[in-house]
Chains A and B, each alone.
Chain A
Amino acid sequence: MLAMNYRGPFRVRIDEKPYPEILHPEDAIIRVTRSCICGSDLHLYHGLVPDTRVGSTFGHEFIGIVEEVGPEVTEIQVGDQVLVPFNIACGKCAFCKQELYGNCHESNPEATAVGGIFGYSHTAGGFDGGQAEYVRVPYANVGPTRIPPEMDPDDAVLLADVVPTAYQAAEMGGIKKGDTVVIFGAGPIGIMAAKCAWLFGAGRVIVIDHLEYRLEFVKSYAQCEAYNFRSMEDPVLFIKKTTDWFGADVCIDAVGGDAAGNALQTITGRKTLLQAGSATALHWAINAVKKGGIVSIVGVYGPTDNLVPIGNVVNKGITIRANQASVKRVLPKLIDHVLAGRLDPKGIITHRLPLEEISDAYRMFSAKLDDCIKTVLIPPKATM
């Protein structure tokens, strides 16, 4: 079968690989009909995630048709069209039982701090991902969810990660009616988080980025304010001033370790890996939130250390909330929001490319070419 093949930082290609096997009684094999490239994949593509082995297949946002199931699979059947949450979760461990499906303890031998994630390095379990024609899906009774027949597959694929992550980012912000919410990052996650902030009753939603085309997009897509941090001397001061010298009620980091905007952070975090990614956006979030405010982090960082003003967290009494999104937990509610038209995920898709053009697809998303926001990859045998 065709599958993406990682060869080292900035080098990926499509190759012929063996068809995946059922290795566990709760496994399923899914024939992928759509998969996406995520901002999280860029951290892998840029070589920032330790134990990203050459030969890996990435891809944790995918939908498809059940092709084969193991003997203990009862919840889905061959032929079902399913969307697959990016977290691999057993449903039985203490964490899964408490709906922390992003923190399962039975899906990743290599690291205890992360649950298993499809196609996300050996630090997240060493599973092959969905940027392929077929993919092995463990714990098929827990993750895969039938796609409602009336749902557009383009909406469904964005429910595997983007919408749940953005929704949880807003949810963790503990937004109260009328709150001013500042979101760092106008990528798919930040854009969708802006949409979701309104669902929680935000009074004002502000998005910060430096890519003009994304700011233009989010302004109309999420009916919010959007500002370019390159045009301000100091984004924190800007936010203080625009909130009557108070600070935002809630700040959301939807950027993670590939952040731009501060030379020291970029050199230590992205160029030399002296810290676990550049923490510029998180630094701004902590300093721009009000005293007693909440910083919600969904941006992804590596497993070592980062330069953040932790003293200000203490002195300002900030609550920090963060996690890998627990997709399964929020899925029923989000399917509802999408079917009711309150959220329009497919509206952020800007590019559709055949799976075979994976090298170009990664380049375009990484270098933000051709005003790219979200790319969907279509395998050659995809029928829907």
Chain B
Amino acid sequence: MEETKDYSHIKGWGIDIDPENEPTYPIKKYTGDDHAQSRWERPSLQPIDVEVLHSNERPNVSAVFGNTLPPKGLSGAIRRFAFRYSENRYRHWLPLILADRIDMVEGLIEDLRRGHVPNILAEKGYKAEWKYNQRGVIKKAVAAAAVAAYLVLLLKRGRK
């Protein structure tokens, strides 16, 4: 990309240009394409056949994208809200984290609705934990049992 604008009205313009000063090399091979900004010839575009949320820091959906999990349910509504704000805002990221937690509950409900009771201990890899860290598992189980027993005790006392 050649610089075509005229800067002759600016005293000293370009006098200190040092082509050797290229600290981004070799990570970036500077070609000058940057000055054309976003005006490159785009690849073919993947047809947009599902709802794709796109960052409002860009004008369009990128030429390719993942399409298997479009936003849905309450988590989806929160995600849509989040995408009204730029990546610069907590209003973007915090709702997204909240949506992730809600998505987890929605995922559980969906599992149950499809008649699948998830084996959460298996999903968490407790088989491996038991095989390689029995002590840790026992410790955790004992701690959990102690807390449960304490709660039961509290409840009983409360009733008296």
Of residues 77 to 120 in B, which have CB atoms within 8 Å of A's CB atoms?
A: 79, 83, 87, 90, 93, 96-97, 99-101, 103-104, 106-108, 111, 118, 120
- Nearest CB of chain B from residue A295's CB, rounded to whole Å: 14
- The chain B residue with its CB closest to the CB of A138 is B64
Q: Is B44 an interface residue (CB 8 A)?
A: yes
**Cross-chain contact B36 with A109 (CB below 8 angstroms):** no
Chain A contact residues, majority secondary structure: loop
Bitwise interface map of A from 104 to 119 toward B, beta carbon under 8 Å scored 1, else 0: 0111111111001000
User: Which residues from B are CB-within-8-Å of A72?
Assistant: 44
User: Once the chains bind, are B38 and A94 in contact (CB under 8 Å)?
Assistant: yes
Partner of B44 from A26, A91, A94, A125 at Cβ < 8 Å: A26
B27 at the interface (CB under 8 A from A): yes
Q: How distant is the Cα of A367 from the Cα of B58 in the complex, in angstroms?
A: 39
Q: How far is the CA of A72 from the CA of B60 in the complex (A)?
A: 23
Give the segment of A45-53, A260-268, A338-346 that binds chain B.
A45-53
**How many residues on chain A are close to B (CB under 8 Å)?**
69
- With a cutoff of 8 Å between Cβ atoms, the chain B residues found around residue A51 in the complex are 79, 96, 99-100
Question: When A11-B124, A128-B68, A360-B128 are in contact, do A97 and B28 touch as well, CB less than 8 Å?
Answer: no
Q: Is the Cβ of A326 less than 8 Å from the Cβ of B62?
A: no
Q: Is the CB of A112 within 8 A of B44?
A: no
Structural contact, A7 and B123, CB atoms closer than 8 A: yes
Cα–Cα distance between A52 and B79 once the two chains are bound (Å): 11
Please, how many angstroms separate the alpha-carbon atoms of A88 and B66 in the complex?
A: 11
Bound together, the chains give a CA A214 to CA B8 distance in angstroms of 61
20 A–B pairs (Cβ distance < 8 Å), ordered by A: A8-B108, A9-B104, A13-B118, A25-B44, A26-B43, A53-B69, A54-B103, A72-B44, A90-B43, A90-B64, A91-B43, A94-B33, A97-B33, A98-B29, A109-B55, A116-B62, A128-B68, A168-B27, A360-B128, A364-B125
Query: Could you list which residues of chain A lie within 8 angstroms of chain B, going by C-beta atoms?
Result: 7-13, 23-27, 47, 50-56, 72, 88, 90-94, 97-100, 105-113, 116, 122-123, 125-128, 138-139, 168, 171-172, 273, 302-304, 319, 321, 323, 326, 359-364, 367, 369-370
